[in-house]
Amino acid sequence: MLQPLTVVLLVGSGVLALLAAHHLLRRRLVDDPVVITALVLEVALLVQLVVGLTKATAIADGAERATFIAYLFTVLLVPPATVVIAIKEKTQWAMGVVLGGAFVVAILVARLQQVWSLHAA
Amino acid sequence: MPPEQQQPEQQPKQRPEQHDTPHTGHGFGRVLVAVYGLLALAATGRSILQISEYFDRAPVSYVLSALAAVIYLVATIGLARGDRASVRLATVALSVELLGVLVVGTLSYVVPSAFPDKTVWSHFGSGYGYVPLVLPIVGLWWIHHTARAGGGTDGAAAARR
């Protein structure tokens, strides 16, 4: 829907994944860089929400549009949820959750792009 | 799980550290709870959409999707809470889930006409990267693992929580 934004989001989730993998291997717990990266990613996802909602009418099929909007909102929940879980968990699995969350964000952003490119007029 | 065994003190007699107390929602369990939560969210969303937008197209598939969504919710809450009753509930939910994905997965290959539209369980969850097939197996293993790590001290462990 907005190529540069999608690229930014994929790069952002990639950076978060790398950071989490690094911390996982070094057995570090959640720290400021992780939280700030997740925060930046979340802001970019909010921008995506606004852009997506304003452009959603370009998708004619009602069910596909509903899917698109549902993905826009769902993906917003992932970074905060994973960071909260990571803060509560005091073993290295904390970073495992963040790594998984970053992966899920990337998948959902790719799916959004897929729904858009297949169905937007 | 190797990471929990990283502590230098490995004498078997030693009283476990706080984060070593067996709890289905801690350690590796957080990953499970996160994945289950996400799947519950995805399945719920999908089933609401299917039932509200085009239920008549494939009622059986959509009822199954809704059932799967409920089971994922129960499993998520059960694993996250981690007390004995919750774990028992989660065990039941995971068993039903495993049975469901195996039965529906097999049926969707044998009689594809019965499932005109996809569910989370059709084709053994291939649309979801086979996560619906692998997850209950991992989850049941994890419940078994934490129950064993708790040994006979279930009451004592529960009292500490």
Those of residues 89-108 in A touching chain B at CB distance below 8 A are 89-94, 96-97, 100-101, 104
Token pair 């802001």 in the structure block, residue:
A43
Token pair 């930046």 in the structure block, residue:
A40
B32 burial level (CB within 10 Å; 0-12, 13-18, 19+): buried
Closest C-alpha among A58, A84, A83 to residue A69: A58
Higher pLDDT, residue A57 or B15: A57
Tally of CB atoms within 10 A around A62: 11
With beta carbons less than 8 A apart as the criterion, state whether B39 and B69 touch: no
Closest C-alpha among A81, A72, A67, A18 to residue A45: A72
Q: A104 to chain B: which residues are within 8 Å by CB?
A: 38
Written as six digits, the tokens of B37 are: 């939560």
With beta carbons less than 8 A apart as the criterion, state whether B142 and B32 touch: yes
* Residue numbers of the domain that contains A61: 3-119
Closest C-alpha among A23, A33, A31, A32 to residue A96: A23
**Predicted confidence (pLDDT) at residue A54 exceeds the cutoff of 90:** yes
- A100 closest CB neighbour out of B3, B27, B35: B35
Q: How far is Cα A93 from Cα B154, in angstroms, rounded to an integer?
A: 24
Q: A100 to chain B: which residues are within 8 Å by CB?
A: 31, 34-35
| Residue B34 C-alpha, separation from nearest chain A C-alpha, in angstroms | 7
**Rounded to whole angstroms, what are the CA distances from A26 to A5, A86, B1?**
31, 15, 17
Closest C-alpha among A37, A66, A44 to residue A53: A66
Which of B4, B31, B48, B52 best probes binding to A when mutated, by most A CB atoms within 10 angstroms? B31
Q: A27 to chain B: which residues are within 8 Å by CB?
A: 6
This prediction has a pTM of 0.78
Q: A97 to chain B: which residues are within 8 Å by CB?
A: 30-31, 34
Supply φ then ψ for residue A120, to 5 degrees.
-75, 135
With beta carbons less than 8 A apart as the criterion, state whether A83 and A35 touch: yes
Residues 6+ apart with CB under 8 A from A14: A102, A106
CA B93 remoteness from chain centre: 7
Q: What's the pLDDT score for residue B45?
A: 83
Q: What is the DSSP string of A21-41?
A: HHHHHTT----HHHHHHHHHH
- B34 closest CB neighbour out of A63, A85, A90: A85
Q: What's the pLDDT score for residue B21?
A: 61
Across A11-24, average pLDDT: 96
Q: A74 to chain B: which residues are within 8 Å by CB?
A: 41-42, 45
| Residue B26 C-alpha, separation from nearest chain A C-alpha, in angstroms | 7
pLDDT profile of chain B (161 residues), mean per 10? 50 48 87 90 84 82 87 94 93 95 91 77 86 93 89 46 44
Residue A38, chain B, CB below 8 Å: the answer is: no
Q: What's the pLDDT score for residue B158?
A: 46
With beta carbons less than 8 A apart as the criterion, state whether B3 and B27 touch: yes
Across A57-83, average pLDDT: 91
With beta carbons less than 8 A apart as the criterion, state whether B136 and B97 touch: yes
Q: How many domains does chain A have?
A: 1
Higher pLDDT, residue B10 or A45: A45
Q: What is the ipTM of this complex?
A: 0.80
If you measure CA to CA, which chain B residue comes closest to A27? B3
First to last CA, chain B: 21
A77-118 pLDDT tens trace? 999 999 999 999 989 899 999 999 999 999 999 989 999 999
Written as six digits, the tokens of A53 are: 């909602």
Q: Do B28 and A96 touch (CB under 8 A)?
A: yes
